[in-house]
Amino acid sequence: MTTTTLPFRRPQVPRKYVPVLVTAVLFAAMFVVGGIRYEGFGTGQVILNVLVDNPFLLVIAVGMTFVILAGGIDLSVGSVAALSTMIAASLLSGPGWPAPLVIVLVLAIGTVLGLGMGAIIHYFEIQPFIVTLAGMFLARGLCYTISTDSIPITDPLFKSIAEPQIYLTSELWITPSVLIGLVVVLIAAYVLHYTRLGRNVYAVGGSEQSALLMGLPVARTKIAVYTISGFCSALGGLLFSLYTLSGYGLHAVGWELDAIAAVVIGGTLLTGGSGYLLGTVLGVLMLGLIQTIISFEGTLSSWWTRMFIGLLLFVFILLQRLLAGRKR
């Protein structure tokens, strides 16, 4: 009686998960190295501090994920966030509007701006880069029509949300803004992976022509992702106004690039159709951890942060290219 032995096959990770796993491994390695090199670095609060300092970028990157997954780009997110801080601060300090009404108005303005840009992109068939660049200049210009100075926020509701610390343990804490950011991530993850809109976003990003041939609502989907991005930009601006308790036209300069970097480092393809929201969260944490390491080092300029982010972008763009080449 003969026995046959089956050849051992090493389990392979699906190619679509590789960029996210690379980001996770890199993040863990950076945290371990930081913990070895710097005293007091290897604690849970360091990770939580990254979230405490970046809930606004996390929310904006969530909106950018929708746009990039659908094959687009949104350069207006930073300017819309700054406009949100200016509108909120001016209405709260000048006419003295109720804070809940101001919050609703700011979110509505951001949503309408996103909807308008999405409609122009689709119905007039103009490149998203050009339309959102125009939106960036428009929103930034509107900031300075409100005021050229920084406007402080003294509203009791904003202060009550901005100041408290929510203790998870006796030593670990977060802020209400972090909770808001995590809720946005959970809702967005559900929409992307368990709803028809999410499936349409992936389909349109994968191939808009194929999505049209399948009868999918391409127009509605493209407009929806920019509407979501506009809403997230406005919400991110509100969270930043809570963080600084001010509105200023120079707030959020360059955030559009940070958001794109977080999404790409998180493994989402710039061409659309592939990526996960978990990767975006890891991308934001990665950017925050780089800033934390620079601050712990103490001898490096803040410009080193940009250099490291640039190097990471090169690595992940090359990784995406290699994976795309293998897929073919």
The residue that leads in pLDDT, 6 or 321, is: 321
- Tell me the pLDDT band of 17, cut-offs 50, 70 and 90: confident
**Structure confidence by residue, pLDDT tens digits, 95-127:** 789 999 999 999 999 999 999 999 999 999 999
Helix locations, 147-217, DSSP H: 156-162, 176-194, 196-206, 208-213
What does the pLDDT read at residue 279?
93
Return d(Cα 191, Cα 115) in angstroms, integer: 18
Task: Check residues 328 and 310 and name the one with the higher pLDDT.
Answer: 310
Tell me the pLDDT band of 327, cut-offs 50, 70 and 90.
Answer: low
CB 246 within 8 A of CB 150: yes
Query: Could you count the other beta carbons within 10 Å of the beta carbon of residue 326?
Result: 9
Question: SS3 of 167, please?
Answer: strand
DSSP 62-121: HHHHHHHHTT---S-HHHHHHHHHHHHHHHHHTT---HHHHHHHHHHHHHHHHHHHHHHH
Q: Taking residues 244-249, report their average pLDDT.
A: 95
Alpha-carbon span 220 to 138, nearest angstrom: 24
Which of 6-10, 201-205, 235-239, 281-285 is predicted least confidently?
6-10
Alpha-carbon distance of 227 to 117, in angstroms, equals: 8
| Each residue's pLDDT tens digit, 41-85 | 888 899 899 999 999 999 999 999 999 999 999 999 999 999 999
Give the number of other CB atoms < 10 A from CB of residue 52: 18
Of 101-110, 185-194, 285-294, which range is least confident?
285-294
Interatomic CA distance for residues 320 and 295, integer angstroms: 30
Residue 205, pLDDT score: 94
Note the pLDDT tens digit of each residue in 139-161. Answer: 999 999 999 999 999 999 999 99
What are the CA-CA distances from residue 31 to residues 40, 222, 232, 289 (Å)? 12, 38, 29, 8
- Supply the mean pLDDT for the chain: 90
What pLDDT, on the 0 to 100 scale, is given for residue 82? 97
Q: List, in order of start, the domains of the chain with CATH numbers.
A: 44-327 (1.10.3470)
DSSP reduced 3-state for 58: helix
Query: Residues 8-37: what's their mean pLDDT?
Result: 80
